[in-house]
Amino acid sequence: MSGVFSVGQNAISLAQLSVTTVGQNIANVSTPGYSRQNVVQTSSPGHGAEVIEVKRAYSEFLGAQVLSSQSASSELSAQYTQITQVDNLLADSAAGLAPSLQDFFNGLQGLSAYPADSAPRQTVLASAEALVTRFKSIDARLSEIAQGVNQELGSRIENINLAAERLASLNASIYGMGDNTPNELLDQRDQVLRDLSKEINVTISKNQKGQLNVLIGSGQPLVMDEKTYPLKVKEATAVGGPASVVGNFGTGDVTLSANQLKGGGVGGLLTFRDQTLDGIQTKLDQIATAFATGINSQHAQGYRPDGTSGTEFFNIADADHPAGSISLKLTDISQIAAASGVAASGKVLAGDNGNVKNLLNFQNQKVLNDGNSSVSSAYAQLVGEVGSKTKELELTSASAEKIHAQTSAALDQVAGVNLDEEAANLIRYQQAYQAAGKLLQIAKQMFDDVLNINN
């Protein structure tokens, strides 16, 4: 008798646990990183069935694949987001450098007909001023983008540090739970790892106690044996310069290189800032330098109306930042050296436009890219290169995203909740509960029958 009762009791409580587990799955259908659970039972001789464990549907292998595809995708998409800013900056032909350069040379062409007149001289100075402003504004925008990268780097490093703390505390909790399978904590830990791999490459290993050791980038420890190694962002010494990431692994502060911080948004940002953006800035600076020195050197060979030699047309205040520090050095129309010779009177002839024509020739002189490009074609090439790089990143980041979607889908197939499946299970376990209940009812009837034998 007691056997039937105990079988019935076990059956009912097992059915109850199963229904609760189904309920847990349904409630967490939208919880990010939740792995569905199901009750694993076995038969117990004479006692019905018993629970072995509530198993979490997960795959370590697929999980690791997701981490790696996430960090690859985030790395490329961080770069893509940044470079589209430059792409857009150079897209507007009215805001680019090319029209200002053209206006400057057009002004000179107008001067060649009337080199001594005020109005054409004013036009030349005005268009030179506009050109200088345009150089500076493009440079300023590039600096802004660099600063934006520094800031985003800061917030991503903060995310990494927060993740480290959470992982260390989850490690302790999971370890502390012993044999009781902490499914929810494991899910949380995997979710933190996935979020972490958006910021940087993540490699995991288990230590002797079975806890997780987390390495980031090319292998820097982040969480090891319950200890965390947070990172810091250090401002550059030069104003507006690149920020650097600093770690401390027990022997003092050490600056980490971009190679050591590979993968994820951090890796992408560093690659963008130090290679791509730096390259663009350098090319723009080269164009500014070549332009200013070329014009200056030709201008010096000419003569002002009063017979004195031409002086510097443009000034570059900071040789390390030509595009940002270029300015117009001439202050008055009388300083434009249009003539190529001085007359016997000591002054120049009013119609002597020799130096203007020489300045105009500079438009076609191939002074950049190892003697292959003029100033304006070097700029056109720069725009083309930015466009190509952007297009390349558009394609590679889209494809990495697709790959990540696939690996996530693969993991999701194993671990995700399907509401229809859970609905079917609900019916199944409800019926099991009803059947078990009926079993108990019959057991009770049987006992009542025995008790009523003498009646």
Q: Which residues are at the interface with another protein (CB under 8 A)?
A: 29-30, 84, 87-88, 90-91, 93, 98-99, 102, 105-106, 109-110, 112-114, 116, 343, 349-353, 357, 360, 363, 376-377, 379-381, 383-388, 390-391, 394, 405, 409, 412-414, 416-421, 423-424, 426-427
The smaller minimum CB distance to another protein, of residues 278 and 385, is found at 385
CB of 380 to another protein, least distance (A): 4
The residue among 89, 66, 179, 198 whose CA lies nearest residue 142 is 89
Amino acid at 285: D
CB of 36 to another protein, least distance (A): 8
Q: Is 249 helix (H, G, I), strand (E, B) or coil?
A: coil
The smaller minimum CB distance to another protein, of residues 105 and 314, is found at 105
Given a contact cutoff of 8 angstroms between Cβ atoms, the answer to whether 292 and 333 are in contact is no
Q: Please give the torsion angle defined by the CA atoms of residues 380, 384, 385 and 389, in that order, rounded to the nearest 10 degrees.
A: 160
CB of 333 to another protein, least distance (A): 16
Given a contact cutoff of 8 angstroms between Cβ atoms, the answer to whether 378 and 362 are in contact is no
- Residue that has been written with the tokens 């792995």 in this structure: 35
The smaller minimum CB distance to another protein, of residues 148 and 387, is found at 387
Six-digit token string for 443: 């057991």
The smaller minimum CB distance to another protein, of residues 383 and 436, is found at 383
Tell me how far apart the alpha carbons of residues 214 and 431 are, in angstroms, rounded to a whole number. Answer: 45
Strands 326-328, 253-256: pairing kind: unpaired
The smaller minimum CB distance to another protein, of residues 102 and 169, is found at 102
The smaller minimum CB distance to another protein, of residues 72 and 375, is found at 375
CB of 446 to another protein, least distance (A): 33
DSSP 82-119: HHHHHHHHHH-TTTSHHHHHHHHHHHHHHHHHSTT-HH
Distances from the Cα of 435 to the Cα of 40, 440, 442, angstroms: 19, 9, 11
CB of 189 to another protein, least distance (A): 19
The residue among 289, 339, 332, 295 whose CA lies nearest residue 313 is 295
The smaller minimum CB distance to another protein, of residues 39 and 83, is found at 83
CB of 454 to another protein, least distance (A): 47
Q: Is 17 helix (H, G, I), strand (E, B) or coil?
A: helix
CB of 430 to another protein, least distance (A): 9
